Structure formats: C-alpha cells, structure tokens
Chain A
Amino acid sequence: MLRAPAVIGATKRVAGIRGPLWLWVVALIIAALFAVPVGYLVVRNITEGSATLDVLFSREIAAPLVNTLVLAVAVSAATAAVGTLLAWLTMRTDLPLRGAWRVICPLPLVLPSFVAGAALLAAISPGGLAEEVLNPLGFGVPARIEGFWGSFAVLVAVSYPYVYLPAAARIGGLPPSLEEASRMLGEGGLGTFRRIVWPQVRSAVQAGTLLVFLYVVSEFGVVKLMGYETLSTNVFVNRLYNAPLAFALGLILAVVALAVAGLERTSASRSLAQLAPGGTRGRRVALGPWKAPATLAAVIAVGSGLLAPVLVLAWWGFRGLAGEGSGFDRTSVDVSALGGPVLNTVIAAVVTAAVAVVVVLPLAYLTTRYGGRAAGAVHTVVAGSFAVPGLLIALAVVFMALKVPGLGFLYLSLPLLVFAYVVHFGVQALRSAEVGVATVDRRLEEAAQMLGAGRLRRLLRIEAPLMAPALAAGGGLVLLSTMKELPATLLAAPVGFETLATRIWNAEEDGFLADMGMASVILVAVSAVLTWLLVIRNAEHLR
C-alpha cells in the first residue's frame, strides 16, 4: 500500500484514516445531511409497519410499477437505437453538414421534458398550431395524444442525447484506421460496424441507456401530463390523503432508481486502450441512396426533440403578446406578470448553486486528496441522492418538516427548498469540484507555504483562483438542473413562490396556453445558453 502523502499543517490524525480530522468531521456531517431524505423515507416505511407491508404486496403497487418499468425499457431501447444511429451518422458517414449536426444533435438537452410534453399537448389543442397547419390540408387533428405512446414519444425525443453524447465521443475516439483495416481485410460497411465499431462502442451506449432508464423512472411531468400512471405520479397523487401508500411507492421507486444507478456504476463505461490516436478523418462510409433517408432521420430526431416544441410554445407565447383571442379566457400574455417567476427562479437557482459549491468542497478535498474507502462511501452517498427522484427528496423533507418536532419552522420555506435541491443535484457540483481540487498541484501550495503564506492566504491566493473554472462549471450545472426541476419545486416551494417551472405547469393545467408558451420560451432560452456553455461546447465528440 502506498504511504499517505504528508499532510502539511495538519497535526491531528486518526489511525487508518488519511487526512486531517476536522475535514473528516465536516465531511461526515455533510454526507449525513445528504442521506437524510432517503433515511426518512426508510424510517417512515418502517414505522408504518404493517401498513407498508400490506401495500407492498398489493395490486395498487403492481400496476404503476409495471407501467414504470415498461415505459423505461421501451424508451431506453428506442434512445439506444436513435442515439447510436445518429452518433454513427454524424461521426463516420458522408451525411451532409455533419459538422453542424454534431452541434445540433445534443440540443434537445436544453428542453425540460415536461415542457416538451406540454408543447405537444398545446400543439394539438383547439386553436393550436397543428390545427392551423393540418386543417387547410384536409387532415384532422388527433383529439388527444396520451398515455404510454404520448409519454414514449416525448421522452425519446428529449432524452436520446444521453446516448448520443457518449456514443459519438466513443466513435470519434476510435482510430479510423481500424475500420479501414477491416475493409481491407474484406469486410463490408455493415459488417465493419458490427465486428469493429459496435464492440468498442457498446459500453458507452449501455452507460447512456442506463442513464435514460434512470431518467424515465424518475420522470414526473411528462407522464402526469399524458395521464400515464407510474410510481412517481402515484406518489404525487397519494401524498396528501394516503401518506403510507405514497411512502411505500416512494421506497420502491427509490430502490428501482438506486439499483439502476448502481448497475450504471458497476458497468461503468470502459474504454479500451487504443493503440493509435482517434479521429474523424479518414474514409467516410458513403451513404449513397441512403443519404436522403439518413438526413431525414436526423431532421426528425432534432425536429421533434427541439424545433417543434420550441416553435409551438413560441407560437402560443407570441400570439398571446399580440393579444389575439380565440375563444379562450386567457390567450393574452401579461409579460410583467412573468417577472415574479423569473426572479424567483433566479434566486432559488443561484442560492442553490452557491450553497452546493461550498458544501461539496470539503468532500472534494477528501475524495481527491486522501481517497480511501471511507471517502468513496461519502461520494456514493452524494451520487446516490442524484439517482433518487427529486419528487421523493422533496416529499421526504416536506414531511420531515411537518412531522419532526422542532423542524416546523422549515415547512415550505425557501431554505427547505434549497436543501432539497442541493441534496438532489449536489453530485454535479461535487464531480466538478473534484476536478478542480485535482488541478491544484500540491507543490504550488508547498511553495506558497515556504514563502510564508498561511492556510487562509493559500486558499484565497493559490487554490481558489486555480479551482475557480471547475467550481463555476459545477455551480452552473446545478443552476441549470435547479431551473428545470419541476416535481421537487411543486412539492417543497413556499406558498406563492412561483418559479418558471411551476408557472408553466400551473398555466398548462389551467389552459392558459399563451402564458405557458411565454414562460417556456424564457426558460428554454436561459437553459439553452447555460447548456451551450457548460455541456455542448465542451462535449468530447466535438474535439
């Protein structure tokens, strides 16, 4: 075993644990706080005792559980196919404008799934864009898209980038000479994909697919809109008048989510060591007569995942601005009324991001500088909280504030909401912070120390500036996720504290489509800027 690196300035040590004691104390307190919501979920189920057991083996559980799994499997399979196909088309064929497609294909990431779902429903609602376009052509508008197929379509359209991004990065990392060597040895285009490309890309596709599975299991907005009963919608519906059932369903949901997350970790996307540099130069597969269908497929994927929803929402929103009525109570938009939700969204997201970055920093020091099994466990707790649906975390903290004596003052307060957000999204800040800490060379600190700088001065003058870009990126990711989070906000936000996400949701439920369109356009625009800066611009496959 390697000797622990000398810890300068830290004198107290505990046998078997590397790193200063105070850091461990702080880190364990933080990790414990991250574990609180799931812990409460478990405790509630135990204290309910027989009630939980009755529910666990009842038919009330079976139907939503099966629905959840069926949807998750179907969406995962479809996104695996769509994501892999698009990755191969953009990285390895003569698809026209493939450079642009590489940028465009991940873009549906900017659209929160419930916004895409709401857009689909808005498009086919009376007076909507579909009617406007289809009726003159002599087509009728489908009365309602709902249930399994509605949820399936929307979720595939917005979540395929989770497969596309890792698959495209992996394909781009393969040396083109491998495929050329296969062709020279007598294998055709399809056979080369099957025997050379796929075996090396499979693990990346699997990792992305598991992420989609997790995403669908946790999904709330879309399935609720489409009236498809899953574990999460049942938790939401039952939370007020049948809490034991809601908690039992929640526990199952959490177990499914954590199991999938665990699976994702153990099957962590392994990349084979390549013997040559990767690249996208070299021979492209000529699509020939398939060029047009392939281009159409890319257009449909990106069109349905991004373009169409944004168009529909913008259409409603701007029609509302013009104040055109068409039989609805409120098809006009009072833009000034959106000021409140925008401000609330910004406040909640910025505070959450700042708190998350500060809170995970000690954990990042621990996992990066000192490592070991205990530090790994701390990381797992934080990462696990991301896998648990936001709905459940909010449910747990709200009920805790309500039921646990002395916590009542937190009930439906902003700090409680921020706490739920930080627990749910903290790992995004943690991963970035770990990168940041790793970039600070210990020798720089030692040099500063030899020049007489104390701990605080070193932190401010050496470490903080070097870590700043990584910390900002982590904070930005938390900001983005928080803005888009619907169920946790619905459950835990203070009364009257409307964010853009809840505004969109409520407006949809009330049929105020113009209002919904405008709020969505704003949310998507902000989300697009952040996603571009933080995710897409840095995507591996663009290098």
Chain B
Amino acid sequence: MDPRPSDGAAGDLVTNGLSFSYGDVRAVDDVSVTVPAGTVTALLGPSGCGKTTLLRLIAGLERPDKGAIHTGGETLSTPDRVTPPEKRRIGMVFQEGALFPHLSVAENVAFGLPRGPERERDVEQALELVGLAGMGKRSPTSLSGGQRQRVALARALAPGPDVLLLDEPFANLDPALRVELRTEVASLLRALGITSVFVTHDQEEAFVMGAQVIVMRDGRVLQSAPPSELYSRPTNRWVASFVGEANVVPGQGGAEAAETIVGSVPLVEAGPKTCEVLLRPEHLALDAGESWEVEELEFYGHDTLYVLKGEHGEKLMVRASGAPRFVNGDRTSVRYDGPPTVAFEA
C-alpha cells in the first residue's frame, strides 16, 4: 500500500482515515475514499450508515475526529483545522432543498454570486440549465417538489463550485418524478464535468448517477467500484444482496468453478473449499424437471420472477424474461446460465 496518502493534487477529492462520532456513536469510521475529478461518485448505503455524515464532513459542516480531507492539493479538514464551509468552493443540494422561503427563486440562485453586472445574467443561465428559465420571480413556496430541487441545484451550481454534493436530493419526490429528474440531473452533471458526490439509499439511483459507487455500512466503506463491477463482483454477501436480488447458496470451490445445488458454476477467481456462491436470479434458467417446485410466481410484464422450493426446503429466486411458462405447483429443474460469478468465504 502507498505509505504516503494522496493529497488529491489532480483535483480529486480525497479523504484519508476519516472518523467522526456523534457522542458514543461512531458515524464515520476510518473512511478513505477518492472521488475522481470531473466524475459523479454515488455514496450508497442504508439509512444510518454514515453516508450523510461523510457528506457533511466533506462540506465542512462537521469537524473530523481523525483523518483529513484534501482536494486540488489543498487540505480542507483535519481535526485541528477546518476550512469553514463558506471558504471551500463546495456546492450542496440538500435533501429538502433548503430554499430560503423569504427570497424569490432568482434571489435564491443569486445568493452565492458576487454583486455585479453579470449577476442577473448568471442567474438566468443557471435557471435555464435546470429547465426553469423565466421562473425567477416566483416564490419557492409556489413551486412543486421537483421544481424546488431544480432551483436548489441551480443555486448550488451558480457560483461555479469545485465540488458538488447532493444529499438524497430526490428522496421526497414521487417515484415517477424521481426517475425523470435523476436521468436529467445525471446527464447534466456529466455534461458539466463537475466533481460530484451523490448520496442515496436507492441502489438503482446510485447505479444511474454514479460512474463510481461507494457502498457504506455502519460507518465503514465496504466496497468502491463502478456499478457493473459492484453488481457482478461484490466483495461480500451483504453488498451482493444490497445492490440487487441475490441467491447465495453453499458450494465447494475450485480453481475455476464451484459445485452447487444447481450444478457447476463458473467463478471469476478460485474460491475457498467451503464457500457461498452468488447466483443472480436472472442468471438461472428453468427447464422441465423434478427437483424444484414452483411455489410462487410474479409476472411483471417484461419478465417473470419465480420462487422455487427445493427438496430440503431451500428457496431459490429465478427471473426469466417474458410471460410465465409454469404455474404454481409445477416441478422444474434449474441450471446456471450466466457469466463467471463470485464465491465468498462461508
């Protein structure tokens, strides 16, 4: 391992051994991550895992107990010295927007801009960027939830920050709007090429938004990888289940494959002798047979999810495209029909 921690000279945002406690609760525990410059990193974890606290540490709203935060060769936070939030050039979009209710939309966006002749133009440009051109005179209270988050984004982007932080910005929106807005924001952030950290507890959102996804649990970072790698090669059983539907079955590992209840399954690297093997439901295929019984099935239109029961009561989820080919009570056999997968220490 590199004995000299990175100082983020290339414009990356780097945390080194960052720890923070609320009273006795260690919210962030020895976290070292790198957010590459110009890309979006999603911070994914269940509620209470410390992801929002990590964001607040980066924002300068909290002082770390241990560790440091660097960006662009500059040290932002150490336990002794914290650059105040207003001096960091970091923008933030809060979960509930945090729009100033006594100011108009334009005044909100203008808040972080220096006084001058260009101010008005910059505000209009920022509003245009988020699709709210001409709405400057409105009051935040008269806007819909989605519009408020757009204003919050425009306000955070207007001063041209080095880093943008987004704290579950779509959590309070209804599902359809959430999907629409996240697609839009994802492409906007990519187009702007701004270094961003996006906090979410929603796996789908993390995958859509992040070029890199950092999974946190109980204050610790479990894995940090691009979405496709995170899905196909999770480092442990918990991550495997958290980022998608997963069957984890016992197996006997070998150099290239593991023997499991559904036969031989290829591995990406040699597995331990006694192991647990990850089988994604969509990588299993059904044939007529005897060993499994269809216990439940749910038809989703584009595919069908089967829950199978084995001879010893074990359960298996299988996702097959198209309409159901079996009914409850049918007997089937299962085989693995997917790419090499991972095995965990049992």
| A→B interface (CB under 8 Å) | 175, 177-178, 180-188, 195-196, 199-200, 272-277, 282-283
Stretch from B37-45, B82-90, B302-310 forming part of the interface with A: B82-90
Classify the interface of chain B: helix, strand, loop or mixed.
loop
Cα A186 to Cα B98 in complex, Å, equals: 15
Nearest B-chain residue to A274, judged by Cβ: B101
User: Inside 8 A of A274's CB, which chain B residues have their CB?
Assistant: 101
Contact B100–A178 (Cβ < 8 Å): yes
Interface flag for B148 (CB, 8 Å): yes
Cα A180 to Cα B165 in complex, Å, equals: 13
User: Inside 8 A of B155's CB, which chain A residues have their CB?
Assistant: 181, 185
Nearest chain A CB to B271 CB, angstrom units = 46
Partner of A272, one of B59, B88, B101: B101
Contact B97–A180 (Cβ < 8 Å): no
Nearest A-chain residue to B59, judged by Cβ: A184
Cα A282 to Cα B167 in complex, Å, equals: 14
Partner of B96, one of A273, A275, A282: A275
Contact B84–A183 (Cβ < 8 Å): yes
Contact A185–B101 (Cβ < 8 Å): no
Nearest A-chain residue to B62, judged by Cβ: A283
Interface flag for B141 (CB, 8 Å): yes
Instruction: Say yes or no: A276-B90 contact (C-beta < 8 A), given A185-B155, A186-B159, A188-B84.
Output: no
Instruction: Say yes or no: A272-B62 contact (C-beta < 8 A), given A180-B94, A184-B85, A188-B86.
Output: no
Nearest chain B CB to A308 CB, angstrom units = 36
Contact A275–B141 (Cβ < 8 Å): yes
Partner of A276, one of B56, B86, B92, B97: B97
Chain B contacts with A in 24-38, Cβ cutoff 8 A:
none
Nearest chain B CB to A339 CB, angstrom units = 52
Interface string of B51-71 (1 = CB under 8 A from A): 000001001111000000000
How many of chain B's residues touch chain A, expressed as a range?
Answer: 20 to 34
Chain B contacts with A in 81-114, Cβ cutoff 8 A:
84-88, 90-92, 94-102, 111-112
Beyond the given pairs A181-B152, A275-B141, A283-B62, 14 more chain A to chain B contacts, judged by CB atoms under 8 angstroms and listed by A's residue number, are A178-B98, A178-B100, A183-B60, A183-B84, A184-B59, A184-B90, A184-B92, A184-B112, A184-B156, A185-B156, A187-B111, A196-B100, A275-B98, A276-B98
Nearest B-chain residue to A283, judged by Cβ: B61
Contact A186–B86 (Cβ < 8 Å): yes
Cα A275 to Cα B99 in complex, Å, equals: 8
Instruction: Say yes or no: A275-B159 contact (C-beta < 8 A), given A185-B112, A186-B112, A187-B86.
Output: no
Interface flag for B140 (CB, 8 Å): yes
Nearest chain A CB to B54 CB, angstrom units = 15
Q: Which of B87, B98, B140 has the most CB of A within 10 A?
A: B98
User: Inside 8 A of B156's CB, which chain A residues have their CB?
Assistant: 184-185
Q: Which of A186, A188, A196, A200 has the most CB of B within 10 A?
A: A186
Partner of B148, one of A187, A188, A199, A275: A275
Contact B111–A182 (Cβ < 8 Å): yes
Contact B102–A200 (Cβ < 8 Å): yes
User: Inside 8 A of B99's CB, which chain A residues have their CB?
Assistant: 275
Contact A183–B85 (Cβ < 8 Å): yes
Cα A274 to Cα B102 in complex, Å, equals: 10
Contact A273–B101 (Cβ < 8 Å): yes
Nearest chain A CB to B86 CB, angstrom units = 5
Nearest chain B CB to A98 CB, angstrom units = 16
Contact B140–A275 (Cβ < 8 Å): yes
User: Inside 8 A of B84's CB, which chain A residues have their CB?
Assistant: 183, 188
Nearest chain A CB to B59 CB, angstrom units = 6
Contact A185–B97 (Cβ < 8 Å): no
Chain B contacts with A in 111-168, Cβ cutoff 8 A:
111-112, 140-141, 148, 152, 155-156, 159
User: Inside 8 A of A175's CB, which chain B residues have their CB?
Assistant: 96, 98
Nearest chain A CB to B150 CB, angstrom units = 14
Contact B96–A276 (Cβ < 8 Å): yes
Partner of B92, one of A181, A200, A272, A275: A181
Partner of A183, one of B86, B95, B100, B159: B86
Cα A275 to Cα B95 in complex, Å, equals: 11
User: Inside 8 A of A187's CB, which chain B residues have their CB?
Assistant: 86, 111-112
Nearest B-chain residue to A180, judged by Cβ: B61
- Between A and B, 10 residue pairs with Cβ closer than 8 Å are A175-B96, A175-B98, A182-B100, A183-B84, A184-B86, A184-B156, A185-B159, A188-B84, A199-B102, A276-B96
User: Inside 8 A of A183's CB, which chain B residues have their CB?
Assistant: 60-61, 84-86
Partner of B94, one of A181, A273, A283: A181
User: Inside 8 A of A200's CB, which chain B residues have their CB?
Assistant: 101-102
Cα A184 to Cα B163 in complex, Å, equals: 11
Contact B91–A184 (Cβ < 8 Å): yes
Nearest chain A CB to B102 CB, angstrom units = 5
Nearest A-chain residue to B167, judged by Cβ: A177
Q: Which of B85, B87, B90, B92 has the most CB of A within 10 A?
A: B85
Cα A195 to Cα B140 in complex, Å, equals: 16
User: Inside 8 A of A196's CB, which chain B residues have their CB?
Assistant: 100
Cα A21 to Cα B61 in complex, Å, equals: 62
User: Inside 8 A of A180's CB, which chain B residues have their CB?
Assistant: 59, 61, 85, 92, 94, 98
User: Inside 8 A of B60's CB, which chain A residues have their CB?
Assistant: 183
Contact B111–A185 (Cβ < 8 Å): yes
Cα A181 to Cα B141 in complex, Å, equals: 17
Cα A195 to Cα B112 in complex, Å, equals: 12
Nearest chain A CB to B144 CB, angstrom units = 11
Q: Which of A184, A199, A283 has the most CB of B within 10 A?
A: A184
Partner of A181, one of B87, B98, B102, B148: B98
Contact A177–B148 (Cβ < 8 Å): no
Cα A177 to Cα B84 in complex, Å, equals: 15
Nearest B-chain residue to A177, judged by Cβ: B98
Nearest A-chain residue to B94, judged by Cβ: A177
Q: Which of A181, A274, A283 has the most CB of B within 10 A?
A: A181
User: Inside 8 A of A275's CB, which chain B residues have their CB?
Assistant: 96-99, 101, 140-141, 148
